[in-house]
A and B are shown apart, each in its own frame.
Chain A
Amino acid sequence: MNAPLLATGTTSTTGAMPEIRYNFAYLDEQTKRMIRRAILKAIAIPGYQVPFAAREMPMPYGWGTGGVQVTAAVLGPDDVLKVIDQGADDTTNAVAIRGFFEKTARVATTTVTTQATVIQTRHRIPETALSENQILVYQVPIPEPLRFLEPRETETRQLHALAEYGLMHVKLYEDIARHGHIATTYAYPVEVAGRYVMDPSPIPKFDNPKMDDCPALQLFGAGREKRIYAIPPHTRVRSLDFEDHPFKVQRFAKPCALCAATGVYLDEVILDDRGGRMFVCSDTDYCNTRQAQGHVGELGVPGGGFPQNAVMPGRNSGIHDVPPSHPVQDVDPRVKPGDDGISGGTPPAGMTREGTI
Chain B
Amino acid sequence: MSVQTLAAGFQDNVLESQSVFRAAMDAMARPGRVVPLVCALAPPAPLNAEAAALVLALCDYETPLWLDARLAAEPAVAEFLRFHTGAAIVAEPMAARFALVAEPLEMPEFSAFAPGTPDYPDASVTLILQVSGFAGAGWALQGPGIKGETRFGAAPLPHDFTARMAANRALFPLGVDLLLAGAGGVVGLPRSVTVREG
Asked if A and B are interacting partners, one says yes
- The answer, among A33, A37, A77, A215, for a CB contact under 8 Å with B17, is A33
Q: CB distance A217 to B29 under 8 Å?
A: yes
Residue B162 lies at the interface, judged by CB distance under 8 Å to chain A: no
Q: CB distance A233 to B30 under 8 Å?
A: yes
Q: CB distance A48 to B121 under 8 Å?
A: yes
| In the complex, residue of chain B having the shortest beta-carbon distance to the beta carbon of A44 | B190
Residue A95 lies at the interface, judged by CB distance under 8 Å to chain B: no
Residue B19 lies at the interface, judged by CB distance under 8 Å to chain A: yes
B9 CB to nearest chain A CB (Å): 12
A215→B30 CA distance, assembly (Å)? 10
Residue B153 lies at the interface, judged by CB distance under 8 Å to chain A: no
A11 CB to nearest chain B CB (Å): 24
A48 CB to nearest chain B CB (Å): 6
- In the assembled complex, which residues on chain B have CB atoms less than 8 Å from the CB atom of A233? 29-30, 145, 147
B132 CB to nearest chain A CB (Å): 24
Q: CB distance A76 to B18 under 8 Å?
A: yes
Q: CB distance B25 to A36 under 8 Å?
A: yes
Residue B60 lies at the interface, judged by CB distance under 8 Å to chain A: yes
A40 CB to nearest chain B CB (Å): 5
> Interface extent on B, as a size class?
35 or more
User: Which residues of chain A in 178-214 are interfacial with respect to chain B, using CB atoms and an 8 Å cutoff?
Assistant: 193, 195-196, 213
List 3 tightest A-B contacts by C-beta distance, closest first: A44-B190, A161-B118, A232-B145
B12 CB to nearest chain A CB (Å): 10
A-B contacts, 29 of them at CB < 8 A, read A24-B14, A24-B18, A29-B17, A33-B57, A33-B59, A33-B60, A36-B24, A37-B97, A40-B24, A40-B58, A40-B177, A41-B122, A43-B25, A43-B29, A44-B190, A44-B192, A73-B21, A74-B22, A76-B15, A76-B18, A76-B19, A161-B119, A193-B143, A193-B144, A195-B173, A213-B147, A231-B144, A232-B192, A235-B145
Interface centre among B22, B25, B143 (most CB of A within 10 A): B25
- The answer, among A23, A43, A75, for a CB contact under 8 Å with B190, is A43
User: Which residues of chain B in 66-84 are interfacial with respect to chain A, using CB atoms and an 8 Å cutoff?
Assistant: none
Q: CB distance A234 to B146 under 8 Å?
A: yes
Interface flags for B95-139 (1: CB within 8 Å of A; 0: not) read 001000000000000000000001111101010000000000000
User: Which residues of chain A in 14-36 are interfacial with respect to chain B, using CB atoms and an 8 Å cutoff?
Assistant: 23-24, 29-30, 32-34, 36
| In the complex, residue of chain B having the shortest beta-carbon distance to the beta carbon of A231 | B144
- In the assembled complex, which residues on chain A have CB atoms less than 8 Å from the CB atom of B14? 23-24, 29
- In the assembled complex, which residues on chain B have CB atoms less than 8 Å from the CB atom of A55? none
Which B residues are closer than 8 A to A by beta carbons?
13-15, 17-19, 21-22, 24-25, 28-30, 57-60, 62-63, 97, 118-122, 124, 126, 143-147, 172-173, 177, 190-192
- In the assembled complex, which residues on chain A have CB atoms less than 8 Å from the CB atom of B124? 41
A158 CB to nearest chain B CB (Å): 7
Interface flags for A226-252 (1: CB within 8 Å of B; 0: not) read 000011111110000000000000000
A158→B57 CA distance, assembly (Å)? 33
A161 CB to nearest chain B CB (Å): 4
Q: CB distance B21 to A196 under 8 Å?
A: no
- The answer, among A38, A44, A77, A195, for a CB contact under 8 Å with B28, is A44
A50-B122 contact, Cβ under 8 Å, with A45-B191, A74-B25, A76-B22: yes
A261 CB to nearest chain B CB (Å): 28
A356 CB to nearest chain B CB (Å): 40
Q: CB distance B119 to A158 under 8 Å?
A: yes
- In the assembled complex, which residues on chain B have CB atoms less than 8 Å from the CB atom of A232? 28-30, 144-145, 192
Residue A303 lies at the interface, judged by CB distance under 8 Å to chain B: no
| In the complex, residue of chain B having the shortest beta-carbon distance to the beta carbon of A78 | B19
A235→B31 CA distance, assembly (Å)? 12
- The answer, among B21, B177, B192, for a CB contact under 8 Å with A46, is B192
User: Which residues of chain A in 129-172 are interfacial with respect to chain B, using CB atoms and an 8 Å cutoff?
Assistant: 157-158, 161-162
Other CB < 8 Å A-B pairs besides A40-B28, A45-B192, A76-B22, 7 of them? A29-B17, A33-B17, A43-B145, A45-B190, A74-B25, A196-B173, A232-B28
Residue A39 lies at the interface, judged by CB distance under 8 Å to chain B: yes
Residue A318 lies at the interface, judged by CB distance under 8 Å to chain B: no
Residue A323 lies at the interface, judged by CB distance under 8 Å to chain B: no
Q: CB distance B63 to A234 under 8 Å?
A: no
B22 CB to nearest chain A CB (Å): 6
- In the assembled complex, which residues on chain B have CB atoms less than 8 Å from the CB atom of A215? 147
- In the assembled complex, which residues on chain B have CB atoms less than 8 Å from the CB atom of A74? 21-22, 25
- In the assembled complex, which residues on chain B have CB atoms less than 8 Å from the CB atom of A43? 25, 28-29, 145, 190
| In the complex, residue of chain B having the shortest beta-carbon distance to the beta carbon of A234 | B147
- The answer, among B25, B63, B145, B172, for a CB contact under 8 Å with A39, is B25
| In the complex, residue of chain A having the shortest beta-carbon distance to the beta carbon of B172 | A195
A45-B173 contact, Cβ under 8 Å, with A39-B25, A161-B119, A235-B144: yes
- In the assembled complex, which residues on chain B have CB atoms less than 8 Å from the CB atom of A344? none
- In the assembled complex, which residues on chain A have CB atoms less than 8 Å from the CB atom of B120? 51
Q: CB distance B17 to A46 under 8 Å?
A: no
User: Which residues of chain A in 318-342 are interfacial with respect to chain B, using CB atoms and an 8 Å cutoff?
Assistant: none
| In the complex, residue of chain B having the shortest beta-carbon distance to the beta carbon of A76 | B18
A51-B122 contact, Cβ under 8 Å, with A40-B25, A45-B192: yes
A38→B25 CA distance, assembly (Å)? 11
